[in-house]
Amino acid sequence: MEKHVVVIYPHPDDESFGAAGTIIQYRKQGVPVTYLCGTLGEMGRNMGNPPIANRESLSEIRKEELLEAARVLDMEVEMLGFRDKTLEFEDRTKVATNLKEYLDRIKPSLVITHYPDHAVHPDHHALGAAAIEAVRMMDKSERPVVWAQAISRNYTEVLGKPDVINDVRAEIDTKLDAIYAHKTQAAGVLSQFMQPGFSQEEFKKKVANNFSTEQFYIWKYND
């Protein structure tokens, strides 16, 4: 059993879409989970459908959505305070050093983050790389295992089969509750699964099927 799991992603909602089922599984086992959220997603384009936010209010609303999702997932959340869509321009060593301070304090046995260069968004690449570097900076005897999540279209072709494939169908209802806690984001992201002629039940089934598996690669350090 893991001692403590730390999830490191850049935006509110990354945790719910990407790893909520895995988080729920660990919480069912009694394992503490802490989410280190890089930004408040204040530069996002989705404002809800119908809109419930504007450019000025989005950061505070997404913060509240994150706290609600954390309540649903029964996990702790810490906000790192970086600016949305700027993580690729931050000094990676400084970001890694900042993350290492959290890891040294929390002492996780497992870190979940994005796989650099296979995570679609520049913020995902940058914070994933910094998280991996933060663990590398730790004493070898104290390093947690790192699970890196790839979400690019061709990741299996480039990286091969993921090392960890979690079936989270038993957790899907709670996972969807966490996703829908992000009210400004959920409708826009999930609309891609609505097809002409779909009933609401067919739409819900399509969404559930799409998010019923969570996959990760175990990061291999060479030093």
pLDDT for position 31: 98
pLDDT tens figures, 44-100: 989 998 899 999 999 999 999 999 999 999 999 999 999 999 999 999 999 999 999
Answer whether residue 36 is part of any domain. Answer: yes
**Interior angle at CA 47, CA 44 and CA 49, nearest 5:** 140
30 against 187, higher pLDDT: 30
Confidence of residue 208 (pLDDT cuts 50, 70, 90): confident
Averaged pLDDT for residues 158-183: 97
Q: What is the pTM of this model?
A: 0.96
Answer whether residue 223 is part of any domain. Answer: no
Q: Which domain holds residue 89?
A: 5-218
* pLDDT beyond 90 at 172: yes
Rounded CA-CA distance 110/117 in Å is: 21
CATH number at residue 174: 3.40.50.10320
Number of domains in the chain: 1
Rounded CA-CA distance 186/49 in Å is: 9
Answer whether residue 187 is part of any domain. Answer: yes
Do strands 213-218 and 145-149 pair parallel, antiparallel, or not at all (unpaired)? antiparallel
In sequence order, which residues have a C-beta less than 8 Å from that of residue 155 and are 6 or more positions away?
115, 118
pLDDT for position 193: 85
